[in-house]
Amino acid sequence: MSKSIVSIVKYEKPLESVRKVVELSGGLDHLPSNAKVFVKPNIVFWTRAVPFPKWGVITTSRVVEDMVVLLKEHGVSDITIGEGMVTLTPKDSETPAHAFETLGYNVLKKRYGVKPINVFERPFKKVDLGDGITLNFNTDILNSDFVVDLPVMKTHAQTVVSLGIKNLKGTIDISSRKKCHNADPGRDLNYMVAKLADKLPPVFTLIDGIYTNARGPAFDGRIERKNILVASSDILSADLVGTKVLGREPAEVPHLVYAALNRGLPPDLSHINVVGESVKDVSSYHEYSFPYNKDGTLPMPMVKMGINGLSYRKYDLTMCTYCSGLNGVILSAIVQAWNGTPWDNVEVLTGKVMKPTPGKKKTILLGKCMYQANKDNPDIKEMFAVKGCPPSPAAILKAFHQAGININPAIFDNFDKLPGFFMQRYEGKPEFDESFFKIV
């Protein structure tokens, strides 16, 4: 069996570095000039309220434009850039439009005839992925001849890494995303994610590691300038090498283990020919999990603050994207509300499978799924249910206030401005360059 090729190149110059990593990988060697190409960047989050650290969170516009230029040089004229980003309001179309404008995608439209699309404004089609699993994919990617997958090189708090395969989750609809975060331990998030590339057209993956992100996928991770590009026409091989570059072992990434098993391959680099830079020379260890205490009932920063009277269990794979986004805000609000007086033995439950701890005085069920799972549980003495999907800030505030935790409403009122706080970490550091996200 011939080995798949994965190229690693250090990013040094616009266009030249992307051209080099693409050519070394041979990723476009068999691309017909009349192909219909779908480009999938990673825009995990966006806000119109303030600038925020896009480094290590969003695919650089530099890499996106360079890839478009290479496609045009190959004679490709039909290019779509598509993403289905998460917004607080699922039907919000203004935020994605603002993202496309700010990131320069509309410039690409004028300059190269590229078509930027919000996949939530486009049709979806049910795809049978085998094993009785169906997910609804955007029809533009399904009807393309070739996919260019442009993930960011990052770890992920739930899936360990978020690279080429995981990036494709942005092409399925909301109901399918929720299905991925199901409560079946035999078909969990990792099992589902492993199948995302299986029924798509040929995929060329270029992992953008100009900036990397530990404890991703969002702006609250630890972001570093690394100047690394990884590319392959085999998406699994790209992800296996990308994982090693992040200092992780592929065998500890469940969705890659599943994906390798589905292809009859081992979850390692034995079937891969790495060209360009060596993995050893460019790799560095990236943490993926936010630290909690030993029993997983409180984040370590809260433990160090002395917070007690509260159990806020560590998130699991069943917590879907919308609740995940709110989860960090709620934890920040709790930190602000702490005044040194212990709370009244309150427990907060999230996701779909958590069960209440006997003996707790007050139980907050966060989200519709958690409410449905535990609304009749006899171990709950006093219930405070937040039933929405996603939960509304007003309902969250009410539940916490009733449970005696007086979180400040302002943190929800100014949620869109919260990412601006994280910009302060990078002020005055020239390696964090906003120009990577502009097209002029």
DSSP class of residue 367 equals: S
CA distances from 320 to 124, 174, 183, 188 (A): 20, 10, 11, 12
The alpha helices in 74-116, defined as continuous H runs, are 94-102, 105-112
Alpha-carbon dihedral angle through residues 189, 193, 199, 202, given to the nearest 10 degrees: 180
Task: Say yes or no: domain 4-288 is CATH 3.40.50.300.
Answer: no
pLDDT digits (tens, 9 = 90+) for 274-295: 999 999 999 999 999 999 999 9
Query: What are the structural domain ranges in the chain?
Result: 4-288, 300-420
Q: How does residue 415 score in pLDDT terms, banded at 50, 70 and 90?
A: confident
Question: Do you know the residue count of the chain?
Answer: 440
Give 80's pLDDT tier (boundaries 50, 70, 90): very high
Record the pTM: 0.96
User: For residues 386 and 368, what is the distance between their CA atoms, to the nearest angstrom?
Assistant: 7
Could you tell me which of 379, 380, 400 has the C-alpha nearest to residue 391? 400
Residues 28-46 pLDDT 10s: 999 988 999 999 999 999 9
